[in-house]
Structure 1
Amino acid sequence: MSLVRVGLLGPGGIGARHVKALAQLPDKAKFVACCGRDADRTAAFASEHGGAVYTDFEAMLEREKLDLLIVALPPFAHTGQVEAAAAKGVHLLVEKPIALDMERANAMVAAADEAGIVAACGFMYRFGEAVERWDAADVGRPGMFTGFYHTNSLHSPWWRERALSGGQTVEQLIHIVDLARHTLGMPRTVYAKAANLFHRNVERYDTEDVSAMILGYEDGRIGLVNASNAAAPGKSEKGWKIIAERATGSFSDFNTGQVVTTAGEVKSETVRSDKDVFVAQLGDVIGAITDGRRPKVPLSDGADSLRIVLAARQSAEEGREVSL
């Protein structure tokens, strides 16, 4: 097969990260075009990274004959572009969160399924060396997942507004929630608390800056996840721990962790890597396209993890446990 022709929708920071990863796969893919609403910004992006410039998404789809579209839009900006690309048979990698409501998310998944295309969600943590080592280990049945995401930043103006970003739980903590769901499966219930304690006087900041949730399962397994946007400035600290039947895993990021065997002879393995998870993610998506298989992280995973964080937001608002 010839090189996979790749287009980008959303020439921002995360879009640049994807395009840089594509450059590490020159024998598999070619970046051909980018599309953004701001003509000057999109032209500047193309000047640095290459590709044709578009401000009309339909025109890019029509003219460039893309094989793969990377959708790196803020969550509020999803207005049917994924469905339009799927209808034309273009394969997809959609950044998380894939939407701000389940109606939009389900429409994306349904469009991709109907078109029979490869459609992946951008949960790149799942490609980390430490995460994959745990997945491959003989750990037995997992029973508890605990995790956190702590930072301190005002981010882009749209990020501060819940109507545009969904809030920290939806836009950031979803990475850790996805790992919890990947480990334990879909929970039966979600109970959450959230508040804006430290940014009440910041203009247009109406999302939470502290939150916590409990994921409940019928058989007694449990997930505990929390987040803050009032921690150490200039850092994005995250970590998680998994307690399973035959092993315990402690992770400081997706490439770094320790797996301790707890059944039989107790032994410890440390995993450290500088693996580029964006390159690994794109390699998997491109491989799925060329081999005719499902991607490692299908778009439906994006919908499932979104369902959990939206339930957590509902629980915090209503002060009750929410059933999924």
Structure 2
Amino acid sequence: MDKVKVGILGAGGMGNVHIENLLKIEEAEVKAVCDIDGQKAEKLAAMAGAAVYADFDEMLEKEELDVLYILLPPYAQAGQFEKAADKKIHIFIEKPIAITSDRGKSMVDAARKNGIKTQVGFHMRYGTAVSKLKRLIEDGSAGKPVLFNGRYQCNSLHAPWWRDVNLCGGQIFEQAIHVYDICRYMYGHPKAVASFMGNVCHADVPGYTVEDVSVSISSFTTGAQASITANNCSVPGRWDALFDMIFEKVSVFFKSPDEAEFHYITGEGERVEYFNEPADHKFLEDEDFIRMVKENRTEFCPVEEGLRSLLYVEASLFSAKMDGEKMRVENY
């Protein structure tokens, strides 16, 4: 394979982010852009000299693609993944991969059947401080997992589709899933979750049907516990995803996925290390995926991981709708 030929489905904000990254990656060549909004598609395609399509099936038929980037809102996932997988096209898909776990399971089954490589846009997994702690967990230096405290907070009306729970799934689904995913990535898959949610600040906003505050408690087979909160009533203009992670031998307090205080528990007491190595997570995930395809390397965050985190937030949402009833978190 000379260059990895890329098609992009979805010319919104994430389309702009990813195409800018792909243009910097020597091994990638953007061949086509598809969106029902012709002006958006043309603008994005012009950046790469790519072909423009309004019909996804037509793009699949006419273009010989190695990779497809699916950058659609949750409600717009309607079988495009499966169609591309059946053509043996490798797929990058933004989170959440779908608005229901049934749709997500269909994607996973299609990927497995066709043997394609996949990547989900959980970019915080590429945080340098996150990666540092992950290595300590994997080599045993962190000790037993104890407690995860995570929070997602912002204050924005967002796009009209985002405010409609039937189109985005809610803040837990569309935003806080990043924090739920990091929790899973570091602590393993939870066995149960109990949640509550409400609409405190936006009940009078027309068309605003998603929750604007939520809290969940999760338990793991290891005995570890997690607390995750989210709200859309915090500081305007800021989108914060923060977490603290407690393990038997190290406590880590994150200011971002790249910046954290590592407190090591030793026989002599405590040793503190301040870590700060900024990185462009979205670029790293794009570069990693393209090279993964070109070099036939092992997947880092395949679609199975997207489904498992979707199952986690789905169980959290179901629990909140049942006034905090504990829900088992399915694995797949």
Which category describes the TM-score, using the shorter chain as reference length?
over 0.9
For residues 48-87 of structure 1, what are the alpha-carbon distances to aligned partners after superposition, in whole Å with 9 as ceiling and x for unaligned? Answer: 4542111111111122211111111000000000000000
1:262 is paired with a residue of what secondary structure? strand
Is 1:323 the counterpart of 2:328? The answer is yes
Provide the residue aligned with 2:219 in structure 1: 216
**Deviation string for 1:180-226 (max 9, x for gaps)?**
01111111111000000110111110010000101112442101000
- The letter for the 2-side match of 1:83 is E
Q: Which runs of 4+ in 1 moved over 3 A?
A: none
TM, length-normalised to structure 2: 0.94
Structure 2 letter corresponding to 1:315:
S
Paired position in structure 2 for 1:238? 241
Q: C-alpha separation between the residues in 1 aligned to 2:214 and 2:49?
A: 40
**280, 283, 308: which is aligned to 2:287?**
283
Count of aligned positions: 323
- Which residue of the partner structure matches residue 88 of structure 2? 89
Q: Output the CA distance in 2 between the equivalents of 1:40 and 1:169.
A: 31
**What secondary structure does 1:173 align onto?**
helix
Letter in 2 for 1:142: P
Supply the distance in 2 between the matched residues of 1:61 and 1:153 (Cα, whole angstroms): 36
Aligned to 2:143: 140
* SS in structure 2 at match of 1:8: strand
Question: What RMSD in Å do the two structures reach over aligned CA positions?
Answer: 1.2
Output the amino acid matched with 2:207: R
Paired position in structure 1 for 2:297: 293
C-alpha spacing 1:3/1:58, structure 2 compared with 1 (3 Å): same
Aligned amino acid, residue 323 of structure 1: R
> How do 1:240-255 and structure 2 match up within 5 A?
240-255=243-258
Q: Report what 2:310 is aligned to.
A: 306
- Aligned residue for 1:74? 73
Q: Aligned letter for 1:150? A: Q
Task: Report the counterpart of residue 105 of structure 2 in structure 1.
Answer: 106
Tell me whether 94-103 or 282-291 shows the greater mean CA deviation. Answer: 282-291
Which stretch shows the higher mean deviation, 107-116 or 291-300? 291-300
Structure 2 Cα separation of the partners of residues 298 and 81 of structure 1: 17
- Residues in 2 aligned to 1:267 and 1:290: alpha-carbon distance in whole angstroms: 42
Residue in 2 that maps onto 1:33: 32
Secondary structure, aligned partner of 2:320? helix
Structure 2 counterpart of 1:268, which letter? Answer: V
CA deviation after TM superposition for structure 1 residue 311, in Å: 0.5
Pairing 1:258-269 to 2, within 5 Å after superposition:
258-265=261-268, 266-269=270-273
* More divergent stretch after superposition (151-160 vs 16-25): 16-25
State the alpha-carbon separation in 2 of the partners of residues 62 and 140 from structure 1.
52
Question: 1:269 and 1:17 mapped to 2: Cα distance?
Answer: 33
Q: 2:177 aligns with which of 174, 187, 193?
A: 174
Q: CA deviation at 1:275?
A: 1.2
Does the 8 Å CA contact 2:145/2:222 hold for their aligned counterparts? no
Q: Is the contact made by 1:284 and 1:295 (CA closer than 8 Å) also made in structure 2? A: no
Secondary structure (helix, strand or coil) at the match of 1:172 reads: helix
User: 1-side partners of 2:5 and 2:48: how far apart?
Assistant: 15
AA paired with 2:288? D
C-alpha distance in 2 between matches for 1:307 and 1:290: 31
Larger displacement relative to structure 2 (6-15 or 56-65)? 56-65
Aligned with residue 165 of structure 1, among 150, 165, 168: 168
1:96 counterpart SS class: coil
Q: Percent identity?
A: 36
Matched-pair contact (CA < 8 Å) for 1:6–1:29? yes
Q: CA deviation at 1:31?
A: 1.3
Q: Give the 3 Å change call, closer, same or farther, for CA 6–135 of structure 1 in structure 2.
A: same
User: Is the contact made by 2:23 and 2:48 (CA closer than 8 Å) also made in structure 1?
Assistant: no
Paired with 1:116 and 1:321, the residues of 2 have a C-alpha distance of: 36
Displacement of 1:291: 2.7
